[in-house]
């Protein structure tokens, strides 16, 4: 699985250069996207953009940063979920119109982008990319032609359905928006002579800043001249924070919604042992994402923590490996066993999630070939049974190994001696946020927004502000949700 992207915004009080701060912040968010990176700055008169395919240090060098002169700017790292992997879809996206220009960086995924794009194209608007970010940009420009900034952004929020955390340059103002359900993370902090907004607090830390708080769901912040204003544009009955930020995507040293991710993962590891105890010789993580969970499991169980796998961190993500032998070679290139640590031992193997099951099977087979006597798999997320429509690049339901298999069936597929997933209730307890304020769609098949053919929480429909209404196709036995079919009425 891959997260779509990370966003950054910086606003300084004087002529301090924003580009270098954005560069370092994007470096801290590199884990959120490795396909492309971009920076846009404004110097009070002109806007300048530089973006390209690749990692942050591959796209920018010192000369590039020096050319990007401006005291306010935004940045983006991307992994594509909506829109292909090409330069046209790199962000920030710059749009010119008769009253000026806007630049926009987006983390998330719209579920009604196709409908909105069709309407805009009928009005004669031309698209240069296939990303939903350009849809957002066109809608905002259209609103700005008739309204002031606050009313334009409020109308924008009423039009969009899905997940979005946005950093926007409107002239030399930094505008920040988070969707009314708060699905994607966004926070802001104080740095020397200015402010920074970012997908995760680690970007604030790297600039020696101080975290102020998360941007509230449905809130707009406007930064200008060393100050900021807050406007609560929309409110929802509940939030829907993505649980996979805590399970996988966010760095362990990030603070999201007041929760240190590292501490959450330690609690998940302890909860895993409480729900699925096992007698074994060692607890070993699948690096790197399983490490914190394994520490929590080890501390709670009293079983020694010992690494049985070592990760090669210099392997690219785009290996093309034809044939079974070459695919197994690719696994060994990325992960190698520390044979003396596992030979003849019963191992508890801890991973963040199981998606298709193929990687888990290869890892377990690798450990058995290195002499592991038993391999007991423990997983820090509940079984993934449904796809994500809100910004995670996840396989279809047919490809998800747990969608149509019980635990014993998945256990056989991955060749484990036993398999234990954390329960939804245990996950919620570990995070410390009420279940009604979390998005658990991929784990339950029930989503916080309307998606054709999927189930949606009734209580969150009351808080919707979109232009598309749900037509009921019939009630499920659980009164908390309905099955929705999109139609215009």
Q: What's the residue count for the chain?
A: 489
Closest CA to 365 of 392, 389, 335: 335
Count of Cβ atoms closer than 10 Å to residue 469 Cβ: 13
Pairwise CA distance, residues 200 & 207, whole Å: 13
DSSP state of 395: -
φ and ψ of 26, to 5 deg: -65, -35
The answer to whether the beta carbons of residues 54 and 364 sit under 8 Å apart is: no
Q: Which of 5, 187, 388, 442 is catalytic?
A: 5
Tokens linked to 364: 């377990």
Closest CA to 308 of 272, 336, 328, 266: 336
Please name the residues in contact with 46: beta carbons below 8 A apart, sequence gap of 6 or more: none
What is the three-class DSSP state of 167?
Answer: strand
DSSP state of 35: S
90 carries an active-site annotation:
no
Pairwise CA distance, residues 88 & 133, whole Å: 11
Name beta bridge partners: 165. 107, 178
Query: What's the gap between Cα 25 and its chain centre?
Result: 16
Pairwise CA distance, residues 197 & 10, whole Å: 6
DSSP state of 76: E
Please name the residues in contact with 460: beta carbons below 8 A apart, sequence gap of 6 or more: 181, 236, 237, 238, 240, 448, 449
Pairwise CA distance, residues 67 & 372, whole Å: 56
Pairwise CA distance, residues 293 & 298, whole Å: 9
**Torsion, CA 468, CA 474, CA 476, CA 479, rounded to 10:** 70
Name beta bridge partners: 406. none
What is the three-class DSSP state of 59?
Answer: helix
The answer to whether the beta carbons of residues 72 and 12 sit under 8 Å apart is: yes
Q: What residues are labeled active site? A: 5
């Amino acid at each position: 699985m891959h997260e779509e992207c990370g966003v950054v915004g910086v606003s300084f009080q004087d002529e301090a250069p924003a580009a270098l701060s954005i560069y370092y912040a994007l470096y801290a968010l590199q884990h959120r996207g490795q396909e492309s990176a971009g920076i846009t700055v404004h110097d009070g008169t002109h806007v300048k953009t530089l973006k390209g395919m690749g990692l942050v240090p591959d796209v920018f060098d010192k000369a590039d940063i020096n050319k990007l002169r401006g005291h306010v700017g935004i940045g983006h790292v991307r992994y594509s979920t909506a829109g292909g992997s090409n330069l046209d879809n790199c962000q920030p996206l710059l749009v010119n119109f008769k009253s000026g220009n806007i630049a926009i960086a987006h983390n998330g995924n719209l579920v009604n982008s196709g409908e909105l794009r069709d309407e805009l194209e009928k009005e004669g608007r031309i698209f240069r990319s296939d990303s939903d970010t350009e849809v957002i940009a066109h809608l905002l420009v259209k609103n700005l032609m008739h309204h002031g900034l606050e009313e334009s952004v409020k109308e924008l929020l009423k039009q969009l359905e899905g997940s979005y955390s946005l950093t926007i340059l409107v002239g030399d103002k930094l505008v920040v928006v988070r969707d009314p359900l708060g699905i994607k993370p966004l926070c802001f902090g104080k740095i020397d002579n200015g402010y920074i907004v970012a997908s995760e607090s680690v970007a604030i830390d790297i600039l020696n800043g101080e975290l102020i708080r998360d941007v509230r769901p449905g809130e707009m912040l406007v930064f200008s001249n060393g100050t900021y204003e807050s406007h609560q544009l929309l409110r929802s009955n509940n939030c829907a924070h993505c649980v996979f930020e805590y399970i996988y995507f966010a760095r362990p040293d990030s603070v999201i919604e007041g929760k240190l991710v590292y501490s959450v993962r330690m609690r998940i590891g302890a909860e895993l042992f409480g729900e699925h105890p096992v007698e074994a010789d060692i607890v070993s993580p699948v690096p790197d994402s399983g490490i914190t969970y394994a520490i929590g499991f080890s501390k709670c169980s009293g079983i020694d923590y010992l690494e049985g796998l070592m990760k090669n961190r210099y392997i690219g993500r785009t290996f093309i490996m034809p044939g079974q032998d070459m695919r197994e070679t690719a696994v060994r290139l990325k992960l190698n066993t520390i044979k003396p640590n596992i030979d003849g031992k019963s191992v508890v193997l801890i991973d963040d999630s199981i998606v298709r099951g193929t990687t888990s099977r290869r890892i377990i087979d690798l450990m058995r070939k290195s002499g592991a006597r038993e391999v007991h798999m423990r997983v820090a997320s509940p079984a993934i049974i449904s796809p994500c429509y809100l910004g995670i690049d996840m396989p279809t339901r047919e490809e998800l190994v747990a969608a149509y298999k019980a635990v014993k069936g998945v256990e056989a597929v991955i060749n484990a001696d036993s398999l234990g997933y954390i329960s939804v209730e245990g996950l919620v307890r570990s995070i410390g946020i009420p279940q009604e304020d979390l998005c658990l769609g991929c784990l339950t098949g029930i989503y916080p927004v309307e998606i054709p053919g999927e189930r949606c929480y009734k209580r969150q429909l009351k808080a919707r502000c979109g232009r598309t209404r749900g037509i009921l196709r019939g009630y499920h036995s659980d009164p908390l949700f309905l099955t929705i079919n999109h139609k215009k009425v």
